[in-house]
Amino acid sequence: MLVKKKIILASRSPRRQILLRQIGLEFIVQESGVDEDFEHIQAPLDHVKILSHRKAVEVGKNIENGFVIGADTIVELDGNILGKPADEKDAINMLRTLSGRTHRVFTGFTILDRPSNLALTDHAVTDVTFRLLTNDEIEEYVRSGSPMDKAGAYGIQDDYGAVFVEKIDGCFYNVVGFPLAKFYLAMQQFQESLGIL
């Protein structure tokens, strides 16, 4: 993927870093420090789009020239947003709630151009169905520590959480944490709109 400017990823997520490297991007990582717990943002789609934009803008304050990429991923079930678990008990409760049901994974991403401050924000939504989980499976997984930094308390890639997933409808990489195909096309479109391709 040809990108004509330096890229700054406003995320410490190792999964996002792996995905962006997968499509040949080189970037530096600069965490935004933005509080992800915005309870007053009720709609899941608004939540991820607003937070991805805030993260990009916050990091962009320190960047003279480049593209800043912000992203946010959440899990939604029955209108409730499930972010990263607060503790092991919270993770167990999340997984019990998801067991045997279909939830939705929302990821918003923003590409911010510096110095123009023009931005493109987009999103992806994927439906994920869990099989019925046993209490032993849930507790063993939580004890591993793996779900503690993941929205919805599970990972679908390189992780035992993959065996919880019965099927998905939509972008697999969105569930990992970043919708690669949509981002790839958005980055091309954004550069063209800026006249720098």
Q: Which residues are catalytic?
A: 72
Contact 77, 97 (CB under 8 A): yes
Contact 44, 74 (CB under 8 A): yes
What kind and span of H or E run contains 98? helix 88-98
Beta-carbon contacts of residue 22 (< 8 Å; ≥ 6 apart):
180
- Among left, alpha and beta (phi > 0; psi -120 to 50; other), residue 117 is left
